[in-house]
Amino acid sequence: MGFNFKRESCQTNNIKHMIKFYLATPRRERSAIIISVTFSGRQYKRTTKESTLVRFWNQDRQRVRVSRENRSANQVNEMLIRWQNAAAKAVLKFKQIADIPSSGDFFAVVDNEFYSENGFVSPVARELVQVCFYTDYLRQYIERYRNVRSEITVKHYQTVLNKLVAFEKRTHHRLTFSDIDINFYNQFRFWIYDQGYSDNYFGSLIKVIKQVYREARDVDHLHDLNGTAHKGFVTIAKEADPIFLTVDELLLLHRLKLTEKLVVSEWPNLCGQNAIKRRISTCELVKNRFLIGAFSGLRVSDFSRLGKMNIVENRIVLRTRKTDTPIVVPIHPVIRDILESGFDLSLTISDQKMNSYIKVLAKMAKIDEKVAIREHRGGTIQERCTEKYNLVSTHTARRSFATNLLKAKDVPLAAISKALGHSKITTTMRYLRVGIEENADLLAESSYYTLETTGDGGCLLYTSPSPRD
């Protein structure tokens, strides 16, 4: 659905004209801002070279909302005012000469008014004196989203930057936007594979590289290239092995009693009672935070910041940090048990420590089933066998929630998707970890396969489910 914009109609020497602003890509997280000018029966539109996060755009005022989270709002709004004034002056000039210009001629005058009035250097002149390197723009991109996207996402952006800087040192060449093409892709891929990284790791780097490349072109207009459009410039994503914790395994973790003897057996180098008590407290924190995630479906960035204000009438209510999506899910009995035990929701711990400790806790809970996994590395498949607790991570909680709900058989996939905060069912499908045998069991228990025969010729009697079903 597009925005309904409030149009500002002006009249200059009996010639009516209309100047408005709208978002170029309102369905994305960030969008360029378009200026549209209508006069003498013609419409002229073009980017203002300004951009904003979509959620801060005020469609009625056609301005960026000012808030503490959006420090650049006043600056962007000031530029929009200047573009509006420049466009109005251009309309007046063409009225005086009684001319209806082409789009190119019209915006040439607009640009002249804008840049001469404000003492700016035009984008064309700026490009002649400054080369924009890809990694320089990536640094700006990271700062742009540092306080907008999750800490984990920003850290991944920084990882991509570090890898590209290392690649530049290896090749003795600084990357420009024109360098980001299929040749770069192949060279970068071989370099990453030589370091022993997986296909999915390389794919995660390429995903960000393409994302930043498009924003530099479509939002900030630093280039007009299409180097990532090559059919071979793909984001590699191999299906991971079906690792999740069943409800029974999660209950094993919930019932785990963290004694001094058990903790010392895993950390024999702990010195003194105070150190042991602190380690037990940390383990309790990790265990409870993980279980809250596993029985709510929240991302680690959300269940790690869950507070009392998010508990409303036996439900968890919050907006996700990653996508700013509202989430409302019932409080599971296990979560209620944790809350009633006196667990302090204000306590926090880093994601790195969470991932380290949860493996040890899963081992303590004897979640030690042997699991055969396949890893995609360097374009090849490597198989190995390991205990299940070695594969548990913070994201396992969210994956377990989705899979266990599906296996409950009475929860529609659409409801699971909604609970996870997904806008697409296809995204939810990637979280489901059901083997082919389990999937066959789920199918067999559905009403579709529950039919009665007449017994006299093999005809089937089937009653259509009610609309309620």
The number of C-alpha atoms within 13 Å of 148 and in the hemisphere containing its C-beta is 17
Q: What is the pLDDT of residues 29-78, one digit of tens each?
A: 888 899 999 988 899 999 888 888 898 999 899 999 988 777 778 888 98
Helix residue spans in 295-393 (DSSP H): 300-303, 333-340, 351-364
CA 17 to chain centre: 41
**Quick check: 66 and 53 in contact, CB under 8 A?**
no
If pLDDT is split at 50, 70 and 90, which confidence band does 240 have?
low
- Selection from 364, 316, 319 nearest residue 339 by Cα: 316
> What residue type is assigned to position 265 of the chain?
S
d(CA 290, CA 297): 10
If pLDDT is split at 50, 70 and 90, which confidence band does 464 have?
very low
Residues 282/286/291/297 CA torsion (nearest 10 deg): 150
Domains of the chain, by residue range, sit at: 8-129, 134-229, 247-444
State which H helix or E strand residue 85 sits in: helix 73-96
CATH code for residues 247-444? 1.10.443.10
Among 194-198, 211-215, 229-233, which is the least confidently predicted range? 194-198
If pLDDT is split at 50, 70 and 90, which confidence band does 302 have?
confident
> What residue type is assigned to position 364 of the chain?
M
If pLDDT is split at 50, 70 and 90, which confidence band does 419 have?
confident
d(CA 385, CA 371): 6
**Quick check: 291 and 255 in contact, CB under 8 A?**
no
Mean predicted confidence (pLDDT) in 306-327: 84
**Quick check: 354 and 375 in contact, CB under 8 A?**
no
> What residue type is assigned to position 457 of the chain?
G
Query: Look-up: residue for tokens 């007009």?
Result: 224
Helix residue spans in 131-246 (DSSP H): 134-145, 151-171, 182-194, 199-218
d(CA 285, CA 258): 11
pTM, two decimal places: 0.58
If pLDDT is split at 50, 70 and 90, which confidence band does 2 have?
very low
If pLDDT is split at 50, 70 and 90, which confidence band does 455 have?
low
d(CA 403, CA 439): 11
Q: What is the pLDDT of residues 155-189, one digit of tens each?
A: 999 999 999 999 999 999 999 999 999 999 999 99
Among 2-11, 70-79, 218-227, which is the least confidently predicted range? 2-11
Q: Is the pLDDT of residue 442 over 80?
A: no
d(CA 56, CA 171): 41
- For position 295, what pLDDT does the model report? 93
Write the CB contacts of 96 (distance below 8 Å, at least 6 apart in sequence). 13
